[in-house]
Structure 1
Amino acid sequence: MLILSLTYLKANEEADRYMEPHMAWVKEGYDRGWFLASGRKVPRTGGLILSAGDRAEVEAYVAADPFTVHGVARYEITEVAITTVVEGLEKLKD
């Protein structure tokens, strides 16, 4: 499991300029089967994505996110070996 934590480097107005292409990028991550859950941080300082993809492939994909390309956000990728989950979230386990 990979936790992709993105932090805005620019104002929310700048993030909003690239939100549509970023969300298309997020949708493609789901279509590839890599992304399991995603959403905004509260307060809105960035976002979080739970990913089951291969780390090298996901890192390359993160580099192509419009937020990364335009310097809107930076990503921190944390790998976690999930061992215990509630019923229904078995897909999160390694």
Structure 2
Amino acid sequence: MLKVVGADVVSLGRFKPDVGDEVFADEDVATHRYRKLLISKGYCAGGILIGWPVLNDALGRMVKGRRPVSADQLGRLRAGDWSTLL
């Protein structure tokens, strides 16, 4: 983890999508927060979190542990529900 001007910054795995990958990204300009998740072939291939410390451990487990992303989790992410990662 790297601290930048008081913000938690985490980057794991890939952040550039390949053909067929699905990307979920969300930016909150007012609170200076950003999150991006890259799903490839049913797995979380990478992500970037700025100002989302509550998701740091979950992202680490998913990327480093190569945990599959279920159809239910994909549906919830598509609906904007990032809590499915916790």
TM-score (norm 1): 0.29
Higher relative contact order (CA 8 A, sep 6+): 1
**Higher share in helix:** 1
**Higher share in strand:** 2
Over alpha carbons, which structure has the higher Rg?
1
